[in-house]
Amino acid sequence: MSDFRTPLGKVRGSGSARDGTEHFWRQRLTAIANVPLVLFFVGLLISLNGEGYDTVREALADPLVTVLMILMIGSAFYHMRLGMQVIIEDYVHGEGNKLALLILNTFFTVLMAALSVFALLKIAFGG
Amino acid sequence: MSKNTAMRPRPLSPHLSIYKPIPTMLMSILHRITGAALYVGTLLVAWWLIAAAGSPEYFDLVDSFFGSFIGRLILFGYTWALMHHMLGGIRHFIWDAGLLFDKETSTKLAWATLAGSIILTILIWIVGYAMR
């Protein structure tokens, strides 16, 4: 069978979904980053179990902790946006609903990330 | 008449209910469910951080929720979902490398994911309470 792809399309290698392997690649890239970052977060929560307001704030205000937490939020939340996108694309078939949910997915993720990062910065810079 | 043909529902491929559940399939489904649960769980992460950035009174309120029986139950489930999703992800890395694809090994790996997630969750909680 003959190949109907244009030379440009072939070079771009984006396929019928028009974004190539970018989604897959970002999912894996954030997954790799998530392993150490999320384990760090779990470790932090273990060390703060039963601690009060002042100790928790002091721990979160540590520069290394703040930066690692922001990286964890960025990587994990981006990863979950990609994952939820796949779930929506798999189960929601009406174009309108699908588009609305995909937009909401991005809004929710960005909102959660903004709130979390703002809270971390407020603690770190002494709000 | 041609419209009639277009209106007829398209044939669908057989769905989940006709397959006998096998370990790899169950872990794949659990991977998606835990992923979706963790998505909702970010509300808790954001809530906790906002509370820590707010007043001591508000932090105590949120802290007492997480410390309650329901709160601890949710956090325990959250821990398991996180561990299961993480081990499931590591399993995907192994498969990405083209390894451990054969039937027997992939089934063992599926059970290992489940067992590992439960063991890690219990370990985390034991360490958490021991450090208190």
Cα separation of B59 and B48, whole Å?
8
Q: Which of A7-21, A77-91, B56-70, B114-128 bottoms out in mean pLDDT, i.e. has the lowest?
A: A7-21
CB-nearest partner of B45 from A31, A56, A116? A116
Chain A and chain B share a number of CB contacts under 8 A equal to 82
Of all residues in chain A, the percent with pLDDT exceeding 70 is 97
Model ipTM value: 0.89
Pairwise CA distance, residues B97 & A110, whole Å = 32
Scored b (16 or more CB within 10 A) or e, B5-31 reads eeeeeeeeeeeeeeeeeebbeebeebb
**Comparing B72 with B4, which gets the higher pLDDT?**
B72
* Cα gap B28→B45, rounded to integer Å: 25
**A97 Cβ partners below 8 Å, 6+ apart?**
none
Q: For residue range B24-76, list pLDDT tens digits in order.
A: 999 999 999 999 999 999 999 999 999 999 999 999 999 999 999 999 999 99
CB contact under 8 A, A116 and B46: yes
Q: Determine what percent of chain A is predicted with pLDDT higher than 90.
A: 80
A25 in reach of chain B (CB within 8 A): no
Nearest chain A residue to B124, by CA: A46
Band of residue B1 on the pLDDT scale cut at 50, 70, 90: very low
| pLDDT at B2 > cutoff 90 | no
Q: 10 Å Cβ neighbour count for B117?
A: 23
pLDDT band at A19 (very low <50, low <70, confident <90, very high): confident
Q: Find the residue in A nearest to B87 (Cα).
A: A35
Which residues of chain B make contact with A31, given a CB cutoff of 8 A?
89, 92-93
What's the predicted TM-score (pTM) here? 0.88
Cα A116 versus chain centre, distance: 12
Is the minimum CB–CB distance between B126 and chain A shorter than 8 Å? no
pLDDT in tens, A42-87: 999 999 998 999 999 999 999 999 999 999 999 999 999 999 999 9
